[in-house]
Chains A and B, each alone.
Chain A
């Protein structure tokens, strides 16, 4: 008995370096915000990617090789994102890049990918610039929605409301301006009777929204579009609620930038302005969702040891999913071959089948929208029903 165990151990020890030698892992560089306020979203995106890698490695990896994720903290700074991306390519010899969070980091790292001729998949930055005609190159791809798609999705919803006097409130920087412009242009097209009665532009990270709220209410809008996101939305809503802001507009409020994400409703608890509309990358509760989504959520919940897992993990997960499918299709880890394989690639994601368009390397990634309600099953507001808005008809 003892001998047999020893023999097995020996074989194991001998086999280990052999397989490692023959099968070098596929290295994926993952530059992401892992410190500071943005880490709230960057961490779960990394976790989603890591879960995907662990799952596929358990099944034998890709082309018989394991996926290895090498993460670096971009600190939410475009220069730092460029620096760590270069380091990942030159020192760590990563085969691909998946990552970046802000709309400043994405385009900056895209330039590095172009120089180094390495496939780069952006899972979160939404700026149109990233895949705009003059910035597009063979190696950059995006699995997030764009500001155009997000603004227009919201316009599709608001156009169905009876309101015609519409106001906007958005943080005054690239994302806020672009998504608001997309919303305004699209809703004017869908519903020519719409008047934009007021536009407020608090600075990003504004601490006191009260003057903006008062000024907006003075214009008496019937509905409001907002792109205040994350903690900015939480602060805004906490100040707006006691000023009877949401009552004054009859809760005809739509918050993009993930205002209805479980993270936001959880953070605010009883203070959340239940009844407004919002969107989210994902929602762990989604009874109408595809079976693949329920399965994904169950796995994620277990992986994160969180009953209500993050809605941002799916972006990292999908980034890796597209990358590995393309590697399989190309039967190679050569970036030139993989980038060709990514063109027009369709993948069954947890949110259903999606396709990376050939002409602009952009995924027809929609988002979940819904009116928020209280549900006794959860200690925070949820979107009900959850609607997946498919952006395919209005991506151009």
Chain B
């Protein structure tokens, strides 16, 4: 039996990974839930968020507070890009066959990844931890970096903010209504197109923010987009496409399975995640908290 502090450290690392995944996958899930478009390019928005954060840090320097400016700036920039993409391109795709949507978002993945390569090259880029959160502390025998603690707190905060937005505001009610029946909502005089753009901007913002916040713990390289989209997909498939709490649950499970999987079957840690996804798909094809598609 491994000692307690180790198990604790392991579960914390799983939780941190889960919060990152949640941040990114929630945007994907939101867009799918409302727009019924499986946005493959969500991983690309995540990647652009990372590159944009790097760029702002290059411009602004590494002084106190600069990282937060960079992270927020990057997320906003990605959100604006998301809005433009939705307005100019996605709007032509609603109601079309899924195959077209898939092809289109996949084309977007290729275009954005090449664009990133042209702008930033193929070099590995790296952003330092914000100075205030560079160190670590010991909790119950486990070393916890401050930055990880921040992510651990941010995840639930975003989840709660999200919940409030969806359930306690008019915009949230409209979003939920649009997910259920957009024709009816349109007939009731709501500007569905504008609502869609708003949802897409919000989803892209979350993707971009996830990308920006991940830079202090990961390397920014070409290919991070497709890597992340696969993980985000597993999360939303486990949790249920379009289900908000499902995404949260999926991310939590994913993180813990990965963390503890390596203890039991070290060579096949990634296998345990895929096995879990397969099991979920067999038993509940619509995910743990999702509902069957109409």
Contact = CB atoms under 8 A, between A and B. Distances in A.
Interface of A: 35-37, 39-40, 43, 172, 199-203, 205, 207-208, 210-212, 214-215, 218, 230-232, 234-235, 238-239, 242-244, 263-264, 267-271
A156 B177 CA distance: 67
A238 B227 contact: no
Which 9 A-B residue pairs are closest in the complex by CB-CB distance? Answer: A242-B145, A210-B13, A267-B124, A234-B219, A231-B219, A211-B259, A37-B223, A40-B122, A39-B122
Contacts of A214: 6, 9-10, 13, 142
Given A214-B9, A267-B124, A201 B266 contact: yes
Contact of B13 (A35, A211, A269): A211
Given A235-B218, A235-B219, A244 B13 contact: no
A207 B218 contact: yes
Contacts of A239: 217
Contacts of A172: 267
B39 to A, nearest CB: 20
B226 to A, nearest CB: 10
Given A37-B222, A210-B259, A243-B145, 10 more contacts: A40-B122, A40-B124, A199-B266, A211-B10, A214-B9, A215-B266, A230-B124, A234-B126, A239-B217, A268-B126
27 contacts: A36-B122, A36-B223, A40-B221, A43-B122, A200-B266, A205-B223, A207-B17, A207-B228, A207-B231, A211-B10, A211-B258, A211-B259, A211-B262, A214-B6, A214-B9, A215-B262, A215-B266, A218-B3, A218-B6, A232-B219, A238-B217, A238-B218, A243-B136, A243-B145, A244-B143, A267-B125, A269-B126
A218 B9 CA distance: 10
Interface residues of B, number: 45
A325 B238 CA distance: 59
B216 A238 contact: yes
A36 B222 CA distance: 6
Interface in B194-250: 216-219, 221-223, 227-228, 231
B227 A207 contact: yes
A107 B216 CA distance: 37
B262 A208 contact: no
Interface in B80-128: 117, 122-126, 128
B269 A203 contact: yes
Contacts of B219: 231-232, 234-235, 238, 267
Interface of B: 2-3, 6, 9-10, 13-14, 16-17, 117, 122-126, 128-129, 134-136, 142-143, 145-148, 216-219, 221-223, 227-228, 231, 258-260, 262-263, 266-267, 269-270
Given A201-B267, A242-B134, A37 B13 contact: no
B269 A202 contact: yes
B126 A267 contact: yes
A242 B147 CA distance: 9
Nearest to B228: A207
Nearest to A40: B122
A270 B3 CA distance: 34
A310 to B, nearest CB: 10
Contacts of A267: 123-126, 219
A117 B227 CA distance: 39
Q: Which one of A36, A202, A215, A230 has the greatest number of beta carbons of chain B within 10 Å?
A: A215
Contact of A231 (B14, B124, B263, B270): B124
Given A205-B227, A214-B13, A243 B143 contact: yes
A218 B56 CA distance: 38
Nearest to B218: A235
A158 to B, nearest CB: 22
Contacts of B13: 208, 210-211, 214
Nearest to B138: A244
B128 A270 contact: yes
A43 B258 CA distance: 35
A246 B135 CA distance: 14
Contacts of A199: 266
Contacts of B259: 210-211
